Amino acid sequence: MNDNSTDHHSNHNSNSDDSQERSDRHDHRRLGRELDLFDTDPLIGAGLPYWLPDGATVRHTLEEYIRGEERRAGYRHVYSPVLGKRELYEISGHWSHYSEDMFPPMELGSEQVVLRPSLCPHHAVIYRSRSHSYRELPLRMAELGGMYRSELSGVLGGLTRVRAIQLNDAHIFCTLDQVADEAGAALEMIRRAYEALGIDPVRYRLSLPGPGGKYVAAPELWRRSTALLTEVLDRSGLPYEAAEGEAAFYGPKIDVQVADGAGRESTLSTVQVDFHQPERFGLHYIGADGGKHRPVMVHRSIIGSVERAVAHLVEQHGGAFPPWLAPTQLVILPISDAELPNAVSLARRCADRGLRAEVAGPESGSLGARIRESRLVPYQAVIGAKEAVDDRVALRLRDGRRLEPRPADEVVDRVASLTGAHSTELWDGPA
């Protein structure tokens, strides 16, 4: 999993004035600063963004969603360090095929350690640390882990070209017979995640090697893994196109491409079949025959790097995240100080249900001004004297709908149910 942040400026013709204007307005760097999501500082360095509380909330929520989906699909999570000895990457092949993207090694006594350019070698070593029976396969190992890239063009303020990357990664160790099902299941997880996130892929790409020496030489293994991925794509019924020169150095991959407002494509999600690293690390499992057999490694990422995924979400939604992902899900607006106790009580009930609610009282301005200020918040619960009497709220939705006043607890139930289901809908009940 190491070429997730390759940009492909492939669609310049669609760069009309309209889309240019939209892409400026929705530029994630601009919105990230305006919405207090993330920022950078020259003293920390280019390509090294930090996350402010609202951005951190979005990121944390996204990460927990991914971990939940992975747990449900039978993945087990591990943690592994972001550093490793140079030898680890010599074995994996990164050192000879990928070193121009790696940070220079650090001298530590007689050893050299490097910031890792990918998580795969650590996971291969973790697999190797215990013996495995064929009964344990497919063994699905997942981690949302840090990796580093010596990006020279780190654009100050952006999340798309970064030097410190948090990758949603997983490696499935399995038999050859299991590869197609596992890769197909990974594609299905990607489809579900895109639905929850409100992301439309622009295309699926079968990424093959191109000319040049950056690939490991093993023609038979390349042929087999390409055939397997082709089978997976054909079985999925998804339209796709093949692209030469986009493979990882150790194998072909399926890339799920998204585009920004200006039509610039990038890869979010990938599924790869790898015969190379199991060989290099001498991985095996004990088969039904009692003998040692070589597993295949399926590398897959559902949302790619967290940085790129959030950048895309910010641009795609113009900051109006799906309700389950919004930093503030519900803003409570008491019309006067008299309704403040109701508002505070409602905020507490929201927090008890795991919802992120805030009270914006009259001290923050007129009701109209507070509503405008909260225009990206999915739910605005207005409480006037009439509603306060029997604990009701007049609910406004971000899309402009205004609902009849209803019991506050009913609103909490409904919002908790919609966000718990990771729905992109704002409302599914009576108006």
**Residues forming the site for Zn ion (CB under 5 A):** 1, 120, 299
| Distance of closest approach, residue 305 Cβ to Zn ion, in angstroms | 13
| Distance of closest approach, residue 1 Cβ to Zn ion, in angstroms | 4
- 95 versus 409: smaller Cβ distance to Zn ion: 95
| Distance of closest approach, residue 252 Cβ to Zn ion, in angstroms | 13
One-letter amino acid of 311: A
* Structure token pair of residue 112: 């050299």
| Distance of closest approach, residue 238 Cβ to Zn ion, in angstroms | 22
CB neighbours (10 Å) of residue 261? 21
- Return the bridge partners of 242, or none: 206
CB neighbours (10 Å) of residue 335? 20
Reference 122, options 80, 156, 163, 94; nearest CA is: 80
Reference 2, options 278, 248, 352, 196; nearest CA is: 248
- 299 versus 422: smaller Cβ distance to Zn ion: 299
- 114 versus 408: smaller Cβ distance to Zn ion: 114
Reference 293, options 282, 307, 308, 303; nearest CA is: 282
Is the Cβ–Cβ distance between 407 and 388 less than 8 Å?
Answer: no
- Chain position carrying tokens 């299991």: 178
- 186 versus 411: smaller Cβ distance to Zn ion: 186
Kindly report the length of the chain.
Answer: 431
- 124 versus 415: smaller Cβ distance to Zn ion: 124
- 3 versus 315: smaller Cβ distance to Zn ion: 3
Report the C-alpha gap between 33 and 1 in whole angstroms. Answer: 29
Is the Cβ–Cβ distance between 256 and 236 less than 8 Å?
Answer: no
Report the C-alpha gap between 169 and 411 in whole angstroms. Answer: 37
Termini Cα distance of the chain: 46
* Structure token pair of residue 323: 């309700």
| Distance of closest approach, residue 80 Cβ to Zn ion, in angstroms | 12
- 161 versus 299: smaller Cβ distance to Zn ion: 299
Q: Supply the DSSP string of 342-382, one letter for each residue.
A: HHHHHHHHHHHTT--EEE--GGG--HHHHHHHTTTSSEEEE
| Distance of closest approach, residue 143 Cβ to Zn ion, in angstroms | 10
CB neighbours (10 Å) of residue 425? 9
| Distance of closest approach, residue 245 Cβ to Zn ion, in angstroms | 19
Report the C-alpha gap between 116 and 2 in whole angstroms. Answer: 10
| Distance of closest approach, residue 170 Cβ to Zn ion, in angstroms | 8
- 229 versus 259: smaller Cβ distance to Zn ion: 229
| Distance of closest approach, residue 166 Cβ to Zn ion, in angstroms | 15
- 117 versus 154: smaller Cβ distance to Zn ion: 117
